[in-house]
Amino acid sequence: MDRRVFLAAGGASILTGCASTLAPPRRATTSPAIVPLKFDAGRLMKITVCLRPFRPNGPRLEVERFGARTVVHNYGHGGSGWSLSWGCAAEAAELAVSDGHREFAVIGAGVIGMTTALRLVETGAKVTVYAAQFPAETRSARATGVWSPSSRIGLLDSAAPEFADRWEQWARTSWASHLQALGTSGDPVEFLTQYNVAGGRAPRVPETHRFLHLDRRLADLTPDWGDTPLAERPFPQRFSRSGPTLVFNVSEYFDRLVRLFLLRGGRMVRRNFPDRAAVLALDEPVVVNCMGYGAKTIWGDADMLPVRGQIGWLLPQPEARYALWHDKVQAVSRRDGVIVQYLGPNDDWGYGNEREEIDPAETEQALATLRSLQAQQE
């Protein structure tokens, strides 16, 4: 299920039993089964902005030749980089080794770069990751961290007819790889319950751009969501639907990727590339370009567009581990903090916006929306 598509209609009534004496009616409070998330502004640790690398025709995953140099491109995954990383890494690695070379340079240390480098080094090849920013510094580290394989993945009118099948293969391969990390040290991947709470003020606004929404092709991967039983609702007076959602604990997942890569003999070198010529001057015969949004300038990709997203990070709440959506605002209680994000009226939100400056008002309004929801239950 696409994390942006939620049922936000309907309601529920609470039937009270008979009593021998009448008492003033009491409003329902937050269910004792659900520990409330704390959306106080004083718990805010930081605000981060990420520019998702969007291409209308979908990610670029292909080979380009520059004389004797081979470049394998693997970038432009929109808001689906974490979700699709392993499937795209497998295809990129296959393209890279197809000429028989055993030495590779991977450019970029985001999730696409690290998964691709790991797949390559697992073949026994010599692999060096070159990056100006190491994992914790990349845009990938500022991701929402939820399974969202078709989030801003392409436009219906631009993607090739066969793209949906290719996307599905990436998604299913990635899903299987993510599940292999379940239960491992540090819980880099885990399932949380997400509650989609109805009754917001923000109406659904039709999208200007016809984004691809392909999640129904993966409906068999996760259990169906259903109406939340009254006793389990975080806000009993509001109708909600709930179900399991896969969450990436990004900091721990990155640590796992780096450790596995280095244990298998990989190298990481901090290096800035001012232009394409600097990349092509590397000694390795095959370069795998995983630069994300940085590829727009270095590789002259005029089709690349930014999709801005901003996240407010609150102090972790290990006693309240679940996700919440209400009135276009999402909160996910990850192990590294409770992230709060305004998702906008539709997928047009942030499209073409390359401003990476923080907007405190956006986060303040998102927190206020969730506090207002809680106040209505008191």
- Structure-token match 């999208």, residue found: 207
Q: Considering only 24-38, 50-64, 74-88, 277-291, which range has the smallest mean pLDDT?
A: 24-38
Question: Which residues is 269 bridged to in the sheet?
Answer: 130
| pLDDT tens readout for residues 46-98 | 999 999 999 999 999 999 999 999 999 999 999 999 999 999 999 999 999 99
The pLDDT assigned to 87 comes to 98
Question: What CA–CA distance (Å, rounded) separates 309 from 80?
Answer: 13
φ/ψ (deg, to 5) at 184: -80, 170
Question: Which residues is 224 bridged to in the sheet?
Answer: none
Q: Is the pLDDT of residue 223 over 90?
A: no
Give me the percent of the chain exceeding a pLDDT of 90.
83
Residue 226, CB half-sphere, CA atoms under 13 Å: how many? 6
φ/ψ (deg, to 5) at 250: -55, -45
The pLDDT assigned to 86 comes to 98
Q: Is the pLDDT of residue 18 over 50?
A: no
- Structure-token match 């969730």, residue found: 370
Let me know the angle formed at the C-alpha of 326 by 322 and 329, rounded to the nearest 5 degrees: 85
